[in-house]
Chains A and B, each alone.
Chain A
Amino acid sequence: MVFLDPAHGGADPGARISDQLDEKTATLALAAALRPALAQAGFTVLSSRDAELPVNTTLPLDQRAGLANHAQAAACLVLHVTAAGSGVHLATSTLDAAAPTTPGLPAPWDTAQAGYVERSRALANELGEALLQGQLPVLLGRTLVPPLDNLTCPAVLLEVAPLRGADPRQPDDATYQLQLARAVAAGLRRFHQAQSGDDHQPAKPRPHPAAPARPEPQGDATAPRGATP
Chain B
Amino acid sequence: MIPRYQRIVFWLLLVCITGMSLFLVRGCSEARKKLTALADATPIAAPASTTRPEEVTLELASDVDDSITPTQRTLALPQDQPLRLRNILQALLAEYALPTSAHVLPAEPAVIDVFLIPLSAMDNDQPQSPLQAASAVSDTTPLLAVVNLRSSFVLHHPSGVQSEDLTLQSIVGTLHAASPQIARVRFLVDGQPHDTLAGHISLTRTYPAVDTAYAPALPNASPQDAAR
Contacts and interface: CB of A to CB of B under 8 A. Distances in A.
A15 B162 contact: no
A219 B221 contact: yes
Interface residues of B, number: 35
B55 interface: no
B165 A145 contact: yes
Contacts of B201: 143-145
A84 B158 contact: yes
Contact of A82 (B159, B216, B225): B159
Contacts of A226: 65-68, 214-217
Contacts of A229: 218
Nearest to A7: B200
Contacts of A216: 220
A144 B165 CA distance: 7
B27 interface: no
B223 A223 contact: yes
B220 A218 contact: yes
A59 to B, nearest CB: 14
A26 to B, nearest CB: 12
A223 B223 CA distance: 5
Nearest to A12: B199
B109 interface: no
B49 interface: no
Interface stretch (A44-52, A65-73, A133-141, A204-212): A133-141
Interface string B202-228: 100101000000111111111111001
Contact of B225 (A132, A145, A224): A224
A36 interface: no
A214 interface: no
A143 to B, nearest CB: 5
Interface of B: 63-68, 158-163, 165, 168-169, 198-202, 205, 207, 214-225, 228
- 10 nearest A-B pairs in the assembled complex, by CB-CB distance: A128-B219, A82-B160, A15-B159, A226-B66, A226-B216, A139-B66, A228-B216, A224-B214, A84-B160, A84-B163
